[in-house]
Structures are given as C-alpha cells and as structure tokens.
Amino acid sequence: MPENRDDIKAYTYLPFGSDPLHCIGMRFALLSAKLALALISHSFRFSRVTDTDVPVVFNKGRALCQAKRLVVGIQKR
C-alpha cells in the first residue's frame, strides 16, 4: 500500500529463482546434462585423428573457453 512504502526493507521479498540458491530447475538441468555426458562417454570412445590440432588453439577474448577447431574420432564401444 502507498502508506506502507516507507516501511519496506530492501531485499526482503525475493521471488522464486532470484535468491542466491536459484531455481530448483537449474540444479535438475545441470544434473541432466552431466548424466547425458556420462552416458555418451560410457557408450563411445573419443580419440585423436590426423586432422586434430595439437595443441588445441583457442579463441581469444571470449568469456567462454572455446576451441577454434576441434576434430575428434568417435568409435562405439
């Protein structure tokens, strides 16, 4: 209410997903991604091929570490 506006303390109300613990769905999504990577690495074998750059060259100036070109061989286990 307008008459109570001066009594409100800052950061008292944090809607769902805005607090330091974040949304429960974010943890579930991260767990699902990790499980998918574990299943892929369990089912396939990754190896270096003749086209693979050694050492790997990374793009500079980006927030994420990203390879310019990454060629790998994949074999089913």
Using the predicted structure, report yes or no on whether residue 20 has a pLDDT greater than 70.
Answer: no
For the whole model, what pTM was predicted? 0.51
pLDDT-derived band at 17, boundaries 50, 70, 90 = low
Using the predicted structure, report yes or no on whether residue 45 has a pLDDT greater than 90.
Answer: yes
Task: Confirm if 57 and 68 have CB atoms less than 8 A apart.
Answer: yes
Return the higher-pLDDT residue of 23 and 39. Answer: 39
Distance, in Å, from the CA atom of 40 to the CA atom of 67, rounded to the nearest integer, reads: 20
- 39 by Cβ neighbours in 10 Å (0-12 / 13-18 / 19+) ranks as exposed
